[in-house]
Chains A and B, each alone.
Chain A
């Protein structure tokens, strides 16, 4: 095992199912890795200090704020970004619900909300309203006031559990 610090590191990971191998500086954040090195600009650059949630991605299934995560933390990890949520061109039920409920105005926060909710639904397929609120409280929206975002989250929950809305 190396005991001398690495200024650069070779990172191997899977991003939305694709295996990637990159040489990056040690101080690269996961967000900059996605946006600059991989051209995946769906994860948004908001507050830059972990307050707003716009940069949320899933690392091995767990939500992470990529702006305050070192890319090094994703070594050998399975990464899911908003670009990988729709499968085969069909919107994920969370995305469809945001669309149908018009749960976005400027839309900058939307990818973060989608990913935070994806992490929740993957773990708890039928969450309570309180659990939805807790997760929505991790992300900041400065346009819609959350009412429509909560409506979208509820609609996604109902549809994904086979209940009509």
Chain B
């Protein structure tokens, strides 16, 4: 049995209460669905003294239409509810599709959209039991990493390359979505494109006292957005590679690739590649730009080759509307 460490629990009912608790208990962690947090705590990756439960905050569980004609989705809406909402299905089909690829149907019924966007970065050397990690002396990301710990992915590097694995992020980035972050100091909005950082230990640009309360989507773009997930099995697995492509007939394509580093990355030079050689040239540009590391059990060279394939497939689907 993997026992949970000892902790205490707070159960706010309102967003303002949750923000106050987070200010009063700076070491606390937020828990919504718990589908990533509790396994990580069972693996001893971190041991917060307090958990602040968001399940009782009903204001986080609403989906509403914004004045601009987009959607505001509460961070506590389950992935299943997002994937089934008729407004999400008609306006943002790539978001609905992404939620349906996450883990399993049971986990989709537990996990939340906010939780998915806050998902910890993952690495084959990090998401292991205390015993397993201890045999290697930990790593840079491990909470209890001893002095002299190294990154097993890039032993000479000083950074952490743990992979961003939030399935909903690439599509939301292409929909130009924002998130709302709330603290006792007030509320602010951050674009999903600016939410993540370049180090797997400090991957989310959120102040410690802020909680993510909602995802705000502008009216959908003219073209189609397509989400693709590469994984070992058709169920349960975290992504080996995430690809999202958008195609607007007037503005051309956009491509986001994720699960190859600490944040989802919108590829550069896509418009130029598209002008020069269409889908194949964009796929080739993606292949040259993206270099997966050995953060996954599956080999990095194969995942690099699949960047070309997945980008081609995603972009072809976005163009054809299939």
Cα(A62)–Cα(B111), bound, Å: 12
Write the nearest CB–CB distance from A149 to chain B, whole angstroms.
14
B109 within 8 A of A: yes
Query: Which 6 pairs, one residue from A and one from B, show the smallest C-beta to C-beta distance?
Result: A5-B8, A138-B104, A137-B235, A49-B39, A26-B9, A68-B38
Knowing A5-B50, A73-B55, A137-B235, the reply to whether A48 touches B2 (Cβ < 8 A) is yes
B104 near A137: Cβ-Cβ < 8 Å: yes
Interface residues of A in 32-62 (CB under 8 A from B): 45, 48-51, 53, 56, 62
Residue A1 lies at the interface, judged by CB distance under 8 Å to chain B: yes
Does residue B35 face the partner (Cβ distance < 8 Å to A)? yes
- Taking a contact as CB atoms under 8 Å apart, the answer to whether A62 and B109 are in contact is yes
Interface assignment of B105: CB less than 8 Å from any CB of chain A: yes
B236 touches A137 (CB 8 A): yes
Complexed CA–CA distance, A137 and B11 (Å)? 33
Name the contact of A63 in the complex, choosing from B4, B38, B106 (C-beta under 8 A): B106
Q: Which residues of chain B have C-beta atoms less than 8 A from A62's C-beta?
A: 109-110
Q: Is A29 an interface residue (CB 8 A)?
A: yes
Interface contacts (Cβ under 8 Å), in number, total: 105
Mark B210-254 against chain A: 1 for CB-CB distance below 8 A, else 0: 000000000000000000000000111000000000000000000
A147 located at the interface, meaning its Cβ lies under 8 Å from any Cβ of chain B in the complex: no
B10 touches A3 (CB 8 A): yes
Instruction: Report the separation of the CA atoms of residues A21 and B106 in the bound assembly, to the nearest whole angstrom.
Output: 27
16 A-B pairs besides A5-B25, A134-B105, A135-B105 with CB distance below 8 A are A1-B13, A27-B6, A49-B43, A50-B107, A51-B236, A53-B104, A53-B106, A56-B106, A63-B109, A70-B51, A73-B55, A75-B11, A119-B109, A134-B235, A137-B236, A138-B235
Complex formed: what's the CA distance from A65 to B53 in Å? 17
Stretch in contact with the other chain, from B16-24, B69-77, B134-142, B268-276: B16-24
Q: Assess whether B234 is in contact with A137, with CB atoms less than 8 Å apart.
A: yes
Which residues of A lie under 8 Å from residue B31 when comparing CB positions? Answer: 70
Closest to B14 in A: A1
Q: Is B302 an interface residue (CB 8 A)?
A: no
**18 cross-chain CB contacts under 8 A:** A1-B17, A2-B10, A3-B20, A5-B9, A7-B6, A7-B8, A26-B7, A48-B1, A48-B2, A49-B2, A49-B39, A63-B106, A64-B110, A65-B107, A70-B31, A116-B106, A119-B109, A138-B104
Residues of B close to A68: CB separation below 8 A: 34-35, 38-39, 42, 110
- Measured between beta carbons, the chain B residues less than 8 angstroms from A139 are 104, 106
Expressed in whole angstroms, the minimum distance between the Cβ of A41 and any Cβ of chain B is 14
- Range class of the B interface residue count: 35 or more
Q: Interface readout for A1-24 with B: 1 if CB under 8 Å, 0 if not?
A: 111011101000000000000000
Interface residues of A (CB under 8 A from B): 1-3, 5-7, 9, 25-27, 29, 45, 48-51, 53, 56, 62-65, 68-70, 72-73, 75, 116, 119, 134-135, 137-140
Nearest to A56 among chain B residues (CB) is B106
Q: How far is the CB of B211 from chain A (nearest CB, A)?
A: 16
- With a CB–CB cut-off of 8 A, which chain B residues contact A49? 2, 39, 42-43
**B106 contacts which of A6, A27, A138 (Cβ < 8 Å)?**
A138
| B5 within 8 A of partner (CB) | yes
A135 CB to closest chain B CB (Å) equals 5
